[in-house]
Structures are given as structure tokens and as C-alpha cells.
Structure 1
Amino acid sequence: MTERPVLIYDGDCGFCTRSVRLAVRLPVSMSVRPWQEADLAALRTTEGRARHEVLWIDRSGRVFGGAEAVAQLLKSCRIPWPVFGWIMSAPLLRTLAARAYRWVADNRSRLPGTTPACQLPPDQRPS
């Protein structure tokens, strides 16, 4: 269990880092850590999962990944952001959000703000 929810992201990825800079502007109390500096075992997750997707660990210790993590982050904010989180969690939109998230994650090396580390295959990125 954590005092505040925790957002875990890839600190070697420029696109991810820029995205988190936007997330920290949201009206929510959370800790933000790159997975490379986080105690993943204490947060009940793995390096493999953290390399694969952004993670949201709520105060009870439940771990959400990818689009679900984004939806949980939005649900934890003040109005009007939770509305967007609930919309993303609706059955049909949840599937679309997961596919959109996976496309972005798989193509982040081609998106603005990337770093040379983003362009390496996942198993060769710095840790």
C-alpha cells in the first residue's frame, strides 16, 4: 500500500517523459517515478511490465497498466477529468483505448520528443 498513487513511466524515453510532464499538471496528488529508479518489487510489479507500459499503482497497491493506467489516473483527478477516465473505461471505448495506447507505445520511437534510447529494441534499452 502506498501513501499516494504512483505513476511509473520509462525515464529513458523522451516521449514518455514529455507525456508525464503533462500528467503532473493534472489536479491529482500522486508520486511520479521512472521505473529505472522505482522499487518495483515493493510496488508489486516487475521490470518487464514497467518496460512494456505506463503503470498506475493506486493507494491499495492495485497495479493498472497502459490505457487502464491512464484511465485510473484521470479518475483520480478533480472534476472534469474523472469523466474522461470513466469514458475510457466503458466497454467499447476500453478496447479502443487499449489499441490506441498499444499503437502509441509500439511507435513511440517515431513520435516527437523521442531519444536515441527509444529507438532501440525494448530488450536493448538502457535500464
Structure 2
Amino acid sequence: MDHTFLYDGDCAFCTKSAQFLEKHVRTTAKVVPWQWADLDALGVTQAEAEEAVLWIESNFQEAGPDAIAVLLRRAQWYWRPIGWTLSFGFVSKLAWPVYRLVSHNRHKLPGGTAACSLPQAERDRLAGG
């Protein structure tokens, strides 16, 4: 299985962040919105995909800032120190509250939209799906 990095494709802030990754952080991962991914084939539930960004390998999965750390460790040499630093226990523990703060307020950030603050079921209902 290829490496896959899942993000929320309905969120403009997340999409802009993923576009930055694709443009500036060369990685072996497919960077794909979870809404377009075959979650069953990846072994991921929709709830897991909605909760945080995910790094998925055949026998390995990380979420949130830990997923970002893996992605950076697997990128060009100059991103790797950031990824390793983010992986340190105390840094990772500090990164999670920051990640949650950003993810819960992403609709207020540059590029964010109201859809960023809604769970998928609510987005589907509003879209008539």
C-alpha cells in the first residue's frame, strides 16, 4: 500500500494547507481529501478521518500532529528535522492541544469557511445529501 495523507477536503483551510504540502513538501504520500479516498481499503473509518488528518501506511497509522510529523520525516532533508522535533514525546504532547485549537477554529483562519466548523453529517444535510 502506498503512503496516504488524508485531510478534510470540504474545509478550505485544510485544502489550502494540503496544497502547500503538495507544492513545498515533496513526499512519497498521496495527499488526498478523505472524502475522495477509499476509507475501507485504507482501514479507516469516517469518524477517524473526520477527527484529524491521518498518515496511513500498510501497517502504521498516525493522526493529527503525529501524522504531520511522519509526513515531514518522509519529505526532503530540510523538512526532516522539523518532523523529528515534532515527534519528540514532550513536543508531540504540546502539539496536540495546539492542533485541537487550530482544528476547532479552522473556520476562523485565513481560507477557512463556515463548512470547516461543521461535522460531515451536518455538511451533507445542508448540501441536501
The two structures have a TM-score, normalised by structure 1, of 0.89
* Deviating 4+ runs (over 3 angstroms): none
Q: Is 1:109–1:115's contact at 8 Å kept on the other side of the alignment?
A: yes
Sequence identity (%): 40
The 1-side partners of 2:89 and 2:35 are apart by: 33
The 1-side partners of 2:32 and 2:77 are apart by: 24
The 2-side partners of 1:95 and 1:81 are apart by: 20
The one-letter code sitting in structure 2 at the alignment partner of 1:19 is: S
Q: Is 1:43–1:61's contact at 8 Å kept on the other side of the alignment?
A: no
Deviations 1:91-115 (A, max 9, x none): 1111111111111011111111112
1:20 corresponding residue in structure 2:
18
2:35 corresponding residue in structure 1:
36
Deviation of the 1:120 alpha carbon? 2.9
* Bigger helix fraction: 2
Structure 2: gaps spanning 5 or more residues: none
The 2-side partners of 1:120 and 1:87 are apart by: 32
The two structures have a TM-score, normalised by structure 2, of 0.88
1:103 corresponding residue in structure 2:
101
Deviation of the 1:78 alpha carbon? 1.8
1:8 corresponding residue in structure 2:
6
The 1-side partners of 2:81 and 2:37 are apart by: 30
> Equivalences for 1:20-99 in 2 at 5 Å?
20-25=18-23, 26-58=25-57, 60-99=58-97
Q: Is 1:74–1:85's contact at 8 Å kept on the other side of the alignment?
A: yes
The 2-side partners of 1:75 and 1:93 are apart by: 15
- Total equivalences in the alignment: 124
Identify which of 118, 123, 127 aligns with 1:120.
118
The 1-side partners of 2:50 and 2:79 are apart by: 26
Deviation of the 1:37 alpha carbon? 1.0
Structure 1: gaps spanning 5 or more residues: none
The 2-side partners of 1:78 and 1:116 are apart by: 34
Q: Is 2:105–2:117's contact at 8 Å kept on the other side of the alignment?
A: no
Q: Cα distance 1:43–1:76, how it changes in 2: closer, same or farther (>3 A)?
A: same
